[in-house]
Amino acid sequence: MFEISGFDTAGIVSLKRLSLAAALKKAKELIADGCWGVQVIGPGGQVYTSFEEQAA
């Protein structure tokens, strides 16, 4: 399970996806919607942030 977390004007956003591809896609969508501090954390604790450059 991959966890996507970040912040929006209402507070903390926390979502889960089964695959890395789905998690990265959702992370990009959150950034496009104005969220910040978005990161994806993998099941082994890996932190993915490289998607931020692609969403800009």
In contact, 24 and 15? CB cutoff 8 Å? no
pLDDT category at 55 given cuts 50, 70, 90 is very low
pLDDT tens digits for 5-28? 999 999 999 999 999 999 999 999
Torsion angle, CA of 47/33/52/28, rounded to 10 degrees?
Answer: 70
Model confidence band, residue 54 (pLDDT cutoffs 50, 70, 90): very low
Average pLDDT, the chain: 90
DSSP assignments along 1-56, one per residue: -EEEEEEETTEEEEEEESSHHHHHHHHHHHHHTT-EEEEEE-TTS-EE-THHHHH-
Res 37: pLDDT = 93
